[in-house]
Structure 1
Amino acid sequence: MFKEICKIAKDAGNAIIQVYISNKIINISYKNDNSPVTHADHIANKIIKDRLSNIYPNIPILSEEDSNNIKYNQNWDIYWLVDPLDGTKEFLKKNGEFTVNISLIEHGIPIIGVVYAPYFNVLYYAFEKKSWKINKIGEKKQIFVNQTNIPKYIISRSHPNKKLHDFLKNKKKYTIKKLGSSLKFCYVAEGKAQIYPRFGKTHIWDTAAGHAIVTGAGGKVITYSERKNLNYFLSSKVSLINPDFLVLS
């Protein structure tokens, strides 16, 4: 299954790149929360949903690009959770830091996660509680979180936040890297960073694939206030917005 999902993610990513490198004007609209969406988002969404529906017709799909008209059953025990283009702001800024995210949720836990960064041609995936990276020349290696004496905090490039500033001000020795999209999860998973603190609004499709990759690499994703594992049980949610959370190596 995971090989098929990786292929779908790469095909969607390649379609996104065709829009990214073209000289055509990118049509931009805005969702209810004022976040941007482009026709690249819609193209990738159609590829992913069509292919998943054809291969696994009995597994329902919850995708960000249906978020203005979400139809889902809170009693789903298993479902696909998809963000066809995570990091649309980075896509529009032309810095390459955007991804395709596909995850399979079973009983509230992401058991498969695929994150593909098409601009860098790098793919991360988690399967059977292990995580892997395939680089741009096709080399595959298992990845693991890594502890250091001076931790690196990886933070959002496009979402500055006062709560994050307050969180960091009492820390002593550390470094910071700013990065877009779910690549932040992947950097923790492969040991390039140790902590990703996230305050402010994210949705479950923003985090599930990266969450799977972090846990497969030996890390964890916990809520900030209660220090419980971030979960994807639809039945327990009043909305599809995550609480503040920490990604830890």
Structure 2
Amino acid sequence: MPPLKAPPYLAQSEIFQSFTPLAFEAGRAIMGVYDRGPSVTLKADASPVTEADGLAEALILEGLGRCLPNIAVVAEEACSSGYFPPTGERFILVDPLDGTKEFISRNGEFTVNIALIEDQVPIAGVIFAPAINRFCYGERGLGAWHCKTDADSTDVVELLPMHTRPQPDGGLVVVASRSHRDAPTDAYLETIAVDTVVSAGSSLKFCLIAAGEADIYPRFGRTMEWDVAAGHAILNAAGGSMVAIDGSPFLYGKRERNFDNPGFIARGWRE
């Protein structure tokens, strides 16, 4: 991937410097599997997994062990194998390949997600979609940033600031899951003013809101903390917010639930 040009205060961030190259490295490994066609197996919960998931996670875990050795890492494939590491007030969540169904269907809407949690709140996150070359990063106090990369270019790519848009007076642009839309989501959409519904896969839904391309993302079905933490961090940094369905704060480190999430509403504004 080409090098990124970031403003000095972002480039000096230890988290940015750690997460970004690892997301790109994992993305390259994923695309190597994607280009030749993955083999697919099923986990114990019947969700699909490919060799790209394990390969990308191994690269990220090895890199985080070098860059941030004193921060515990909760990673999807390790947890799927029954390993839930001890976590403190500060830990990292990793989804090495979010949107495995999109990966298998070859629509390009899959991502690498890495997020830092502090006191149950996501304070930094990176999302990289290697098939469509979309990169997003957000960090508390440093804002949200994005760019289109070019895997075949050596030119420097400039990161651009990313902001949500104001809550519209009229209908909302709603982003919904491409693979997991359900009846409760449809019922919820009947209760709000909707202009357009846009389908998207993986954590790209958060990126659309953070970039001001959509307004709200309701999710009633099951997700895990590593699915949403990076997107939540980016959305917060871009001016948006996310709450549980009942309006309570959406928090992380839910060990009693094995990092399973309640439903949530992600939106481009704060209340």
> TM class by shorter-chain length?
over 0.9
1:233 and 2:253 matched: yes
Q: Is the contact between residue 18 and residue 64 of structure 2 (CA under 8 Å) also seen in structure 1?
A: no
Of 157, 160, 166, the residue aligned with 1:141 is 160
In 1, Cα distance between the equivalents of 2:158 and 2:63? Answer: 26
Q: For 1:1-249, what aligned pairs fall within 5 Å after superposition?
A: 1=14, 2-22=16-36, 24=37, 26-67=38-79, 68-73=81-86, 76-129=88-141, 130-136=143-149, 138-147=157-166, 148=168, 149-225=170-246, 227-234=247-254, 237-249=256-268
Give, in angstroms, the shift of residue 99 of structure 1: 0.2
**Aligned residues with identical type, % of pairs:** 39
Alignment deviations for residues 6-28 of structure 1 (CA, whole Å, 9 cap, x no partner)? 01101100110111112x5x221
In 2, Cα distance between the equivalents of 1:170 and 1:103? Answer: 32
RMSD (Å) for aligned C-alpha atoms = 1.4
Give, in angstroms, the shift of residue 4 of structure 1: 2.4
Tell me the TM-score normalized by structure 2. 0.86
Counterpart of 1:193, as a letter, is A
Gaps of 5+ in 1: none
- Higher deviation after alignment, 146-155 or 200-209: 146-155
Give, in angstroms, the shift of residue 173 of structure 1: 4.0
Give, in angstroms, the shift of residue 168 of structure 1: 1.1
Number of equivalenced pairs: 244
Counterpart of 1:69 in 2: which secondary structure?
coil
Q: Is the contact between residue 162 and residue 238 of structure 2 (CA under 8 Å) also seen in structure 1?
A: yes
In 2, Cα distance between the equivalents of 1:99 and 1:62? Answer: 17
Gaps of 5+ in 2: 1-13, 151-156
Tell me the TM-score normalized by structure 1. 0.94
Q: Is the contact between residue 172 and residue 193 of structure 2 (CA under 8 Å) also seen in structure 1?
A: no
Counterpart of 1:145, as a letter, is T
In 2, Cα distance between the equivalents of 1:124 and 1:39? Answer: 25
In 2, Cα distance between the equivalents of 1:163 and 1:70? Answer: 32
In 2, Cα distance between the equivalents of 1:241 and 1:166? Answer: 23
Give the ranges of 4+ consecutive aligned residues of structure 1 lying more than 4 Å apart after TM superposition.
none
Give, in angstroms, the shift of residue 215 of structure 1: 0.3
Alignment deviations for residues 109-158 of structure 1 (CA, whole Å, 9 cap, x no partner)? 11110000101111100123311102225231111111333310000000
In 2, Cα distance between the equivalents of 1:174 and 1:125? Answer: 28
Q: Is the contact between residue 254 and residue 260 of structure 2 (CA under 8 Å) also seen in structure 1?
A: no
